[in-house]
Amino acid sequence: MQTKIPSKVEKAATVFDKFYRGCGWLLINLFVMGFLCWGLYGSFVGFRVETNGEVTEGSVVGLDHFDGGTYSAIVEFEVNGQAYSFEDDTASSPPKYEIGETVPVRYDQSNPNLAQIDSKVPLWLFPSCSVLVLILALIGVNIWGWRAWKRGEEMVDLL
């Protein structure tokens, strides 16, 4: 009778340990997938603005200050007599633009709220590259996590 109690306790500990590792693996996947969704949305917006966009002139009306001394431009532009504004996706130190500076703005004709500062580099390129890297990271994390889970190793100890 005493031999059955330790084996049941050991089985329960093993099940709990695998469950614990599986939850850690799931959280890592959710974290990477969150950034993947963010990159997909950025690619969608950039592609939509590129393909369905018009170019107009906008004016830098402010600079948003972030921790670490970086600044992001707040740009205002006008379409059909209505004013729209957006914050530039990039931040830099020193600021790329000065208040009052005129910048080219590319906006979606059907939804002028989707707008970005027009540049020579396609607006969808950086988000699409980050999507590719995140897909590769997701595949790598899953291969690594599956192998660690099957071997019974702590995933955090492998880092």
CA 47/CA 69 separation, integer angstroms: 30
Residue bearing the bigger pLDDT, 114 or 121: 114
Quote the DSSP letter at residue 124. Answer: T
Q: Give the closest residue to 75 by CA, choosing from 91, 64, 86, 90.
A: 86
Q: Calculate the CA 33 to chain-centre distance.
A: 9
Kindly tell me if the per-residue pLDDT of 69 is higher than 80: yes
Q: Give the closest residue to 137 by CA, choosing from 34, 24, 65.
A: 34
- The model's pLDDT over 4-53, given as tens digits with 9 standing for 90+, comes to 566 777 777 777 777 777 787 888 889 999 999 988 988 888 888 888 88
AA letter at 122: P
Mean pLDDT along residues 70-76? 93
158: confidence class by pLDDT, cuts 50, 70, 90: very low
